[in-house]
Amino acid sequence: MNFSIKEVAEKFNLSPYTLRYYEREGLIPSVQRNNNGRRVYTDTDLGWLQIVCCMRATGMSISYIKNYVELCINGRETLEEKRKIMLEQKEIIKEEIKKYTELLELVDMKLDYYDEKVSKDELKEMINKKRINKYLT
């Protein structure tokens, strides 16, 4: 099945400009054009775009995604390199989860304070204990 740029943009909640940018950067390889010169996206293109959107959602940079796409195009002989990229991204995501878990604990402590379950001194002690002062500056 074929899709227009407008249909793909709506499906992925992206702007047509972003789709054209991803294509220019080589993140969606070999998007075809019809007789009028308009982009025609296939199910394969949508598969690439799904991978790109997933990686962007994890915070991966365009250059890393481009490298990953190029490795995918080269096939199984690049399996170890692709695996390394995914492992690196996994560690980045784990660090982000840790950071947000700590921030959530801070929010919970503040809520306890506002709900008068803890005193101001207890709150300060809890914050110092958690060593989350780095997020308070």
135 pLDDT tier (thresholds 50, 70, 90): low
> Per CATH, the architecture of 1-73 is what?
Orthogonal Bundle (1.10)
Residue that has been written with the tokens 């878990």 in this structure: 101
The kind and range of the H/E element at 71 are: helix 62-73
Kindly provide the residue ranges of all beta strands, DSSP E only, lying in the chain, ordered along the sequence.
32-33, 39-40
The whole-model pTM stands at 0.73
Where in the chain are the domains? 1-73, 79-137
Instruction: Tell me the pLDDT tens digit for each residue of 38-80.
Output: 999 999 999 999 999 999 998 899 999 999 999 999 988 999 9
CA nearest to 59, candidates 101, 88, 102: 88
pLDDT score of 1 more than 80: yes
Could you tell me the two tokens for 45?
């293109």
The answer to whether the beta carbons of residues 65 and 102 sit under 8 Å apart is no
Residue that has been written with the tokens 């995918």 in this structure: 72
The answer to whether the beta carbons of residues 89 and 55 sit under 8 Å apart is yes
Instruction: Tell me the pLDDT tens digit for each residue of 91-131.
Output: 999 999 999 998 998 888 888 877 777 777 777 777 777 66
